[in-house]
Amino acid sequence: MRPTVIMKAAMTLDGQLAAADGTSQWISSPEARRDAHRLRADVDAVMVGAGTVRADDPQLTVRLEGQDPEQRGQPTPVIVAGRRPLPAGAKLFGRDPVVLAPAETDLPGKVLVAPDSSGDRVDLTTGLGHLGSLGLERIMLEGGAALFRSFLDAGLIDRIVLYYGALVAGGTGAPLFRGPWNTLADAREVRIGEVRRLGDSIRLDIDLVC
- 198: helix, strand or coil: strand
Q: Which is nearer to ligand NAP, 66 or 181 (CB)?
A: 181
Single out the residue of 6, 174, 198, 202 in contact with ligand NAP (rule: CB under 6 A).
174
Total of chain residues touching ligand NAP, rule CB under 6 A: 32
Answer yes or no: are the C-beta atoms of 149 and 179 closer than 8 Å: yes
User: CB-based contacts of 154: which residues, under 8 Å, 6+ apart?
Assistant: 124, 125
The C-alpha atoms of residue 180 and residue 183 are separated, in whole angstroms, by: 9
Residue 98 lies near ligand NAP (rule: CB under 6 A): no
Single out the residue of 4, 13, 15, 22 in contact with ligand NAP (rule: CB under 6 A).
22
The C-alpha atoms of residue 62 and residue 94 are separated, in whole angstroms, by: 15
- 99: helix, strand or coil: strand
Single out the residue of 33, 121, 130, 159 in contact with ligand NAP (rule: CB under 6 A).
121
Q: Which is nearer to ligand NAP, 120 or 207 (CB)?
A: 120
The C-alpha atoms of residue 181 and residue 187 are separated, in whole angstroms, by: 8
Q: Which is nearer to ligand NAP, 57 or 68 (CB)?
A: 57
The C-alpha atoms of residue 111 and residue 92 are separated, in whole angstroms, by: 13
> Can you name the residues that pair with 206 across neighbouring β-strands?
160, 192
Residue 40 lies near ligand NAP (rule: CB under 6 A): no
Residue 9 lies near ligand NAP (rule: CB under 6 A): yes
Q: Which is nearer to ligand NAP, 124 or 131 (CB)?
A: 124
What b-and-e string marks burial along 87-103, b requiring 16 or more CB atoms within 10 Å of the CB?
Answer: eeebbbbebebbbbbbe
Single out the residue of 32, 47, 55, 92 in contact with ligand NAP (rule: CB under 6 A).
55
Provide the mask over 139-158, with x wherever binding to ligand NAP is found by CB under 6 A and - wherever it is not: ---xxxxxx--x--------
Contacting residues toward ligand NAP, per CB under 6 A: 9-11, 17-18, 22, 24, 27, 48-52, 55-56, 80-84, 121-122, 124, 142-147, 150, 174, 178
